[in-house]
Amino acid sequence: MQGIKISPIGLISMKRFANIITVSVVIIALTLYMAITCRAQPQNEKVAQQIAQFPVGKSFLEIPFQLERDRAIILLTVNNSSPLKFLVDTGSKTPYLGGAAPAESLGLKIIGDAIDGGPGSGAATTVKIAGDVTYNISGATIKKAEMLVPPPPAPTLAPLSDYGVIGRPLFDNFVVEFDWAKQGINILDSPTI
């Protein structure tokens, strides 16, 4: 029985292929790391402690959502505004104001700047960051939160650019369960349950 013979040229090609794979994996890992760390980073990292409250006597809420482009859209208020459409995004660190509601009408207090975007989500952009924001989601409130306030959207952006985006404040403060069949989000009062 004879072993497989590899010519010196074949051996060089296999080493080159292994090097290409290694470099590709490193590039992918760095790109993912940059995409995660560059998304909406406040330039001043001091963040106020959020205060979450449920309606008195309740520990469970059902929040209906609409599916639009396979995304869950809920209604919530910002600083006692009329209801606004917000996309629920499990990966969103800081809520984002969509283009449908002018920031001035929501009584937002601008506290600084943040960098939004970067690798994986497009070019980085400087946006304003508002502090001391209150969100009300079907009676559950989150106070002393933040919100990114981008410049007015370009007319070429997709229709979902009119919606705000909420994620982390919802998931950090409540136990959240999606009921896709009923198109509802169930939230429990405490993340320690």
Domain count, the chain: 1
Beta carbons within 8 Å of 34's beta carbon, 6+ residues apart: 118, 119, 120
Q: Is residue 6 part of a domain?
A: no
Pinpoint the alpha helices (H) of the chain: 8-38, 168-173
Q: Is residue 120 part of a domain?
A: yes
The two tokens of residue 89 are 């995004």
For residue 64, name the pLDDT band (cuts at 50, 70, 90). very high
Structural domain for 82, as ranges: 41-188
> What's the one-letter identity of residue 53?
Q
pLDDT at 2: 62
| DSSP H/E element including 147 | strand 140-149
pLDDT in tens, 76-111: 999 999 899 999 998 888 888 877 667 778 899 999
Average pLDDT over residues 164-171: 90
Is the pLDDT assigned to residue 163 strictly greater than 50? Answer: yes
